[in-house]
Every structure is written in C-alpha cells, then in structure tokens.
Structure 1
Amino acid sequence: MSTMDKAKSIFIMTGRILNEAISFIVFSVLDILDFLLCYTYKVIDFIVEAEWKPCYCSSAVTSSGTILVSEQGESKIVCLSTSSSRNKLQLEEISDTLYTRPSLVSEVSKSTVNELKRLKLENATVKKGTRMSTFTVNSTIVEMLQGKIGGQQYHPIPRWSDCDCKTCNSWSSSCKDTLFVHVDGAKENVQENVIFIHGFISSSAFWTETLFPNFTKATKSKYRLFAVDLLGFGRSPKPNDSLYTLREHLDMIEKSVLEPYTVKSFHIVAHSLGCILALALAVKHPGLVKSLTLLAPPYFPTPKGEQATQYMMRRIAPRRVWPPIAFGASIACWYEHVSRTICLLICKNHRLWDFLTKFLTRNRIKTYLVEGFCCHTHNAAWHTLHNIICGTAGKIEGYLDMVKNRLKCEVMVFHGRDDELIPVECSYNVQSRIPRARVKVVENKDHITIVVGRQQVFARELEEIWRNNSTT
C-alpha cells in the first residue's frame, strides 16, 4: 500500500470516528430535548385546544372494548372494528417504529418504568396471590382510533401548529374527499394513461414543474398524465385523525384517479417513498399495469434474525450527523416532538420562506421544491414515514416477487450515483428480486437531481419506455 493510500485510509477512518462521536453527543442531546418537548407540547395543546394531542411517548395502557390486541405483554395490534363493516380498519399496517425507537433516554426511562412495575407487581402478587393477563396497546393509537372510528374527538382544521394558508387547506372547504390531481396531456381520444407518484415530503409539482413541460406534443396528444398529491401532502386532504397507512394511501389514489377517470390501464412512474405505493398499486391491479418506472426505490433486504421495520428505520435514519440528508432523515424518523417543532417553524411559515427565497434569488428560480417540502402537516409526515417506509419493510419482498411472477410489464429502475439517502445498492436489490428489471445508474446525480436538472433527458427516456410498452 502506498503512502497516499495509507494517508487516505487513515483520513477516512478518522472521519468515521469523528462522525460517530459527534453523532452520539448530538443525538443524546436530541433524546433529552424530545423528552422535554413532549411535555411542552402537551401543555400548549391543552391551553390552545383544551386537550393535549396524543403522542407515541406514552407507555402502553390497559384497554378494553372493541380494540383487539395480542396478549401476554405484546403490543402488536391486530384489528379494530365497529358494528359497521364500512368502518372496519385493519391495523397490521401500523408500524411498531411509531412507539418503539430505542434511544438513551427511552432505554433509561423504560428500565425505570419496568422496575417500578416489577415492584408494584410483586406487592400485588403478595396481596392477591394471582395475576391476571391484560390486553395492552399503545395509548396514542387507542386515542387516535377512538376519535377516527367513534367520532369522539373533534380537532380544529388546521390545528394551531399547522399552516392555515389557502393552499394547504383548500381541501377543507371542498365537499370532495379525494386527492388533488394535476391532469395534463390528452383530453380526447386518450390512448394511454400515466400515474406519477411523488416521494416523501414532496408534491405533484416534483413532476409537473419538471417533466410535464418537457414532454413532446405527440406524447401529450396520446397520453393522459396524472400527478397526485399524496394524502397529507401538497393540496390534498390532511385529516388529523388519519394514521396514513398503506391501505389509506392506495384507497385514495384509486378513488381520485382510477375510478373517476375510468382508467383501464396505466403506466406508473414513482420516486423514493412513492415506489412502495407504486409496487403495492401494481400488485393490487396486476392486469392494468403496462410499465413500472421506479426512481431510488428504498428496498433494503432484511438480514436473517432482524426485525424488518426496525432494520429499515436504522438504514434510512442512521442517527448520524453526516451526511446532512441522513441527519435530516434521522430527526424526522426518531424524534416526534423535535420534528413537530421543525414543522412548526418551517411548514407553518412556508409563505415566509417562499418569499425570502424569491427575494434572495431575485425571483430567478422556481420555488416548487420549497413549496413541496413545506406543504404538509407533521401528523401526515410522521405517520407516512413510519407506516409506509418502515411499516411495509417486511412486505416489499413479497411485492417484488409478485411483480416478477404475476406482472408481465417492463420494470425500469433509475438511481443517482451520488444519492446519500437511498444508496444505489437498493436498485440492484430490486433487480435481484426481479431479474428482468433494468437498472440505470446516472453519474453525478443524487436523490433529487435524478430528475431535477435532467428533466429533458428523463422525459425522453420515459417516452421511449412508454412507446415500447404501448398497446397500439
């Protein structure tokens, strides 16, 4: 090994050690801060709304009634239903990462609580001589679902910590319970349909401001293009009582696009988190999908012996301060109250940030990325991140196998070489499950610039994919 190589390896090792050391300190502080913010928000919520917003810091509590859960200390929910079959809600899609996120503070508090429970139990056992088994479930889920199904709670729209602008709340004044859908392209003699699904904390503008203006007239005369704002994002509904599960997201896409526009077949283009929804949609409608284009799909095969949800959370949110995008993902995923504070500062005041961006750049750049990043509620982002990205980790392999065996459509995967959030290995992992899938790695592009900045080239690539899979 040359002197240069030795120096490089030492530099890399030193950087890694520094990153881990600084990360440990920073995230230990954030653990404590999140703990303190929990009680701060309870007080503020109670003062402003006369009740405090349930959070996942709450320990499991004894529950009864219509909520069915497992016994002997397990907190996994099976299902919840009322007398009306219309209100039946399956809860296997609730990710345990919502209420199980190991950290320094959580481990200390858990040990303390367990010790207190043990002492209390010993005293109770001595007095009664017997121990009764109980049904337990995370108290936050109980409170949210009681409000959702029983209609026992009312929350103002928007809540005090959410944005109150017309863009974010246009859905609340409409009688339609559907997603915001931007429709472009063919209006008559429609031959093909394309559904675009954006990623986490984004919006339909990710597609409409980049790709849509760059499609040729020939494409727009033949293809009908649908770009949706996912539930909880952009101009779509942001219900406070939603848990933003996979089922809810898929149902809303079907109700907003497939049913009203009588879509009989379609191509799918999806980015990041949207790839999970795209796979689930394709598996649900295997005979309708004509091509499947995935950009930066978050697929990490779960090692043997690991819990899929927890492993996925550690991969996408590694509790590291570097790279910055991983630091941001870690805060969003691990800290319910710190992330709520960030939403309060950024999302609630997105009009100010939009103005400042335009002012500082003298209106030379479009701010659709800023708007997409800001137009959501914390409740929507928090539950979507955990219930879609983490909660479906154990299902992705099954989806990929069904795409391989049941679907005959072309599968194309694009990935930026410099993507620091979702590594390139994820796309090759997809290819390992679907051998016919083609992977294209784009040099010098990351998680966002895989589209932004190369929209003309990507538009041509999509048009070629659609032409090759056309029925006419």
Structure 2
Amino acid sequence: MSFLAIFPRKWARKSGIAIHAVLSLTVFFFFDLIDSILCVVYEFVDEILEGKSRGCYCTEALHITGENEVSETLFRRRNVFREMGFLGFARKFKLSRKNSQSKIHESANRWSDCGCQSCISWTKKEDGNLHVVVKDSIFQEDSVQEPSENVIFIHGFMGSSHFWTETAFEHIKKDRYRLFAVDLLGFGESPKPRDNLYTLRDHVDTIERSVINPYQIESFHVVAHSMGCLIALALAAKHSTVVKSVTIVAPPYFPSSLEGSVLTRIAGKRLWPPLAFGTAVMSWYEHIGRCVCFIVCKHHKIWEWLIKLCIGKREIPWKIKDITRHTHHSAWHSMHNVICGASKFSDEHLQTLTSASVKIHLIQGDLDNIVPSHCYVDMKSNFPAVEVDIVTGADHESVISVRRQEFAEKLESIWSSCRTGMDAKLGT
C-alpha cells in the first residue's frame, strides 16, 4: 500500500515537471519569433520618429565589446529564429538602411519613453549627479552634535531611494548617523542618459561623484539590497581602507568558478513561478521588454490614475511608482551589465574586502523566491568571514519593508560592533 501511495505521487510530480517543460519550450519559442519580428519593427519606427535607429543587441557585430564591464549576455542570448537565419531578408534590408545619413534627434527621452515633467526633471540638473536623499542630524534644531557615522544605502533593480526612506530610515537613530539614500543611475529621479551602458563602473563612479566627493566622506558604512549588493561590493572594495562595514541583503551571488551561462542561472526560461517568468522575459527579450516599458512606463500617468480610482486614495504606494521610474535602456543595461556582468567581479571584490578585514554581513529571508538560497550558501562557503543571518518567514523584500524595526536594530548592531575595530584601524 505504501508503494502504491508513493508511486502516483512521484508520477504526478514528474508529469508536472514534464508538462511545465513542454509549455515553457512552446511559449518561449513563440517569444523568440515575436522578438525577432519586433527587432525589425522597432528599427523602422525608430528611423521614422527619431531620424535614425541606434540599433539593438541582436547581433554582436554591431557593437564594440572590448570593455570587460560590458556583459556578454547583452549579445549571447539564444534565439531560435535568429540562429536559423529566419527573417534574414528583413535583417539585411534593415542593416542596409543604417548607412542613412539622417541625423539622430538627441532628446532627453526616446519616443517609447515617458516625457512627462517628473520623468525628465533630471535634465534640468547641470552637474548630472544622482538624486540623493540625506537624513542628517546636524540640521536638526534639537541637536548640535555632528554625525559620527556615514551610511550609504543602495536600492535594488527597479527601485529608488524610497525603498530605504520609507522603511529603515524611520527607525534608525539619526543623532548618531548621517544617512544617504541614492537613486541609482537610470532609476527614480536620477539621470537616465540614453548613451550610457550602465556598467558596474558607471554606477560606482556616479555614487562617488554624487555622495562621497561632495559630502567629503572619509569613512562610511554601506547597505544594499538585491542588485545594489553588487554595486555596494564594488564601491566598498574600491574604498576598502575606509569602509567600515558592508551589509548586503539578498545578494545575487554567482561564483565565477561556476560553469554555464550566467543569464541561464539568473533567469532561466520557465513559466512558473510568475516572478521567474517575468524575469526571464525581461532578461532574454530586448524588444518585448521595450514593449512592456512602452505600455507600463511611458503611460504610467494613466496607470496611476486608474490605481487611485480603484483604491480610492490620492496617493499611490511608492512601490508602484518605483516600478515605472526608469527607461527600457537603463533597466536593460543594468540588468545585464550589473546583475549578469558584475558576477565575474564579485569574488575579486569580496577577496579585497576580507583581506582588508572589512566586516561583511549578509541578510536574507528564508522565503526568498527571487534570489535562490544557494547564493548565500556559496558566498559563505567561499568566504567564511562573511556573517550570514537568515530571517525566518521573510521574502525578498519583506525582510526589510515589513520588518523595519527589526532590520534597523540589526543595522545599528552591525555598525556598533565594528566601530571600535575601525577606529583602531584608522588610528583615531
């Protein structure tokens, strides 16, 4: 009886896996075709509306890949129809039109991006620096003590400084810390240049130019979430002599020693769960992703109005606003050049930090279905000095957004524990 009870269960599980595999193959085969067709469509529409198309990443021959900051996943994305040469006649005709001498209309936004005042407000900034929110007790009337600790907060993919100002900032003792929350390049209210590749170096350089240099920061802690963890490790490694601690929450860590495609490991082509499906579509299909951004981001005012109508409130949640505060160009390049491309630098950055005895603390929810658990297991295995804290009953975001007080207390505990050691290191 026990065998009969177990056998159907195993058979059902295997059947479910097989059905899911067949459905995934069918759906993504269809997406391959759609993306190939859209490649030609966008080329012509760009030329009509902007004077000349800037091209896409469907063929590696069109782009210079000498910089190691540029991820190979921008180009090496398998598409059945491109590999078969299907629609080749359209591609040849499209490429022949690239010789056109028509001038590109340089503007703050492309025709498929939103051009509302809030989305292009960054163009009024002459310095091109990031949007930074600062919580500084030196400006509080009831405090005369200058902050002794600087903390830089870096959000994740398709986020903004709201991720921190609406959560942890409310619970951290501001009379001891000066807090900086940035909108990363290409997100929130920060610049979204259309000629930038949004590499790891670009993100690190803009944080230095917008926070470290103007505020004359001589030492700091850094806290980051998801994609921001890769940027935080690079920033901290560059300033390993003065960084006090690095707290990374749900870092997408993939050791350089692992074999296989980084993109496949991060965003495998599967239909379930829904988040995995969405990640796969927006990672593999450049032109389908642009369509999604055209529908959602360009027309965000309409969607915000509909949401307000449905929930009956004058203000919509900041999480919904953050989803639309980017361009396809900034999101696409950050996805590939940071999340995929920066994985090859993670081990080097971690080695630099551990060699400099910088405190690294990793926090992740045990219900996280976006960053797999093997990421923190692998990091701990390769770098035993990394402290790992697994939060029970928390997922990718709720580990911060829901457990705000607990998270803030954890941060202060981390900062406090390394203060004495860092002061001795700096000789103060």
Q: Same fold (TM over 0.5)?
A: yes
Q: Which amino acid aligns with 2:65?
A: I
- Out of 397, 413, 421, the position equivalent to 1:464 is 413
Q: CA deviation at 1:366?
A: 5.0
Q: CA deviation at 1:352?
A: 2.2
Q: Does 1:262 align with 2:212?
A: no
- Out of 444, 448, 452, the position equivalent to 2:397 is 448
* Kept after mapping to 2: 8 A contact 1:320/1:326: yes
Partner of 1:167: 118
* Kept after mapping to 2: 8 A contact 1:316/1:421: no
Q: Deviations over 1:42-100 (max 9, x none)?
A: 12212211112311124515xxxxxxxxxxxxx8733xxxxxxxxxxxx2211111111
Q: CA deviation at 1:222?
A: 1.2
Q: Does 1:42 align with 2:43?
A: yes
* Kept after mapping to 1: 8 A contact 2:71/2:336: yes
Q: CA deviation at 1:153?
A: 5.3
Q: Deviations over 1:308-345 (max 9, x none)?
A: xxx22101110101111111111111000000000001
* Kept after mapping to 2: 8 A contact 1:403/1:434: no
Q: CA distance change for structure 1 residues 268 and 11 in 2, over 3 Å: closer, same or farther?
A: farther
Q: Secondary structure at the match of 1:167?
A: coil
Q: Which amino acid aligns with 2:117?
A: K
Give TM-score, length-normalised by structure 2. 0.89
Q: CA distance change for structure 1 residues 314 and 409 in 2, over 3 Å: closer, same or farther?
A: same
Q: Which amino acid aligns with 2:178?
A: R
Partner of 1:195: 152
Q: Deviations over 1:362-389 (max 9, x none)?
A: 2398511111111000000111111111
RMSD: 2.3
Q: CA distance change for structure 1 residues 362 and 17 in 2, over 3 Å: closer, same or farther?
A: same
* Kept after mapping to 1: 8 A contact 2:51/2:104: no
Q: Secondary structure at the match of 1:441?
A: strand
* Kept after mapping to 2: 8 A contact 1:358/1:367: no
What does 1:344-423 correspond to in 2, within 5 Å?
344-363=294-313, 367-406=317-356, 408-423=357-372
Partner of 2:174: 220
Looking at structure 2, the residues matched to 76 and 337 of structure 1 have their Cα atoms a distance apart, in angstroms, of: 20
Looking at structure 2, the residues matched to 286 and 237 of structure 1 have their Cα atoms a distance apart, in angstroms, of: 27
* Kept after mapping to 2: 8 A contact 1:178/1:256: yes
Partner of 1:122: none
Partner of 2:376: 427
Looking at structure 2, the residues matched to 178 and 278 of structure 1 have their Cα atoms a distance apart, in angstroms, of: 18
* Kept after mapping to 2: 8 A contact 1:179/1:237: yes
Looking at structure 1, the residues matched to 240 and 136 of structure 2 have their Cα atoms a distance apart, in angstroms, of: 24
Partner of 2:280: 330
Q: Does 1:244 align with 2:198?
A: yes
Q: Which amino acid aligns with 1:425?
A: H
Q: CA distance change for structure 1 residues 400 and 4 in 2, over 3 Å: closer, same or farther?
A: farther
Partner of 1:299: 253
Q: CA deviation at 1:226?
A: 0.4
Gaps of 5+ in 1: 62-74, 79-90, 117-138, 144-151
Q: CA distance change for structure 1 residues 303 and 295 in 2, over 3 Å: closer, same or farther?
A: same
Q: Deviations over 1:245-298 (max 9, x none)?
A: 111111100000000001111111111111110111111000111111111111
Q: Secondary structure at the match of 1:413?
A: strand
Q: Secondary structure at the match of 2:363?
A: strand
Partner of 1:32: 33
Looking at structure 2, the residues matched to 33 and 110 of structure 1 have their Cα atoms a distance apart, in angstroms, of: 12
